[in-house]
Amino acid sequence: MTGYWVVGGAYTDTGFGRIAGGGDEQRFGPYESHEKARDKWAALSRASEDNALVRYRIEHDGVKEHWVVGGKYTETDFRTTVDGRPEERIGPFRSYEEALDVWRAKAWATVDDGYVRFRIEQA
């Protein structure tokens, strides 16, 4: 069965390479649609918005491309962009690591703005 997964957890540092306390990343799913996975991602993100070491991403079985998606939002539910336009999409990247480098740059450039959020999506 193919589907979408929400993957992540609490990491040891903002490099997001190692889960705090060891062990594996949490995996939620599979979800039959990207929208359902995004709803779970948004709920987990809201629940952990005060902890900079917690991050989640959406993965898709059979992924071929990685995108950095996000922007500045009207609220911290990260659903509506301030200008009402679609979210910014940067990519595609052939590997998660390439997308992660771009995500890190966007995240650090906007670290002081709680209304800006970027994530990595797979297609």
For 107-116, the pLDDT digits (tens) are 999 999 999 9
Tell me the average pLDDT across 33-60: 90
What's the pLDDT at 2? 67
Same domain, 16 and 44: yes
- Check whether 89 has a pLDDT greater than 80: yes
Residue where a domain stops, chosen among 59, 90, 108: 59
**What is the percent of the chain with per-residue pLDDT over 70, rounded to a whole number?**
98
Whole-angstrom Cα distance, residue 103 to residue 84? 22
Whole-angstrom Cα distance, residue 31 to residue 26? 15
Whole-angstrom Cα distance, residue 5 to residue 32? 9
Structure tokens at 21: 């306390």
Tell me the average pLDDT across 64-77: 91
Please count the residues of the chain.
123
Asked if 46 and 40 touch (Cβ cutoff 8 Å), the reply is: no
Same domain, 33 and 89: no
Tell me the average pLDDT across 46-73: 88
Which domain does 55 fall in, by range? 1-59
Same domain, 72 and 111: yes
**What is the percent of the chain with per-residue pLDDT over 90, rounded to a whole number?**
65
Tell me the chain's radius of gyration from C-alpha atoms. 14
Residue where a domain stops, chosen among 59, 80, 102: 59
Q: Which residue, among 65, 56, 60, has the nearest Cα to 33 in the 3D structure?
A: 60
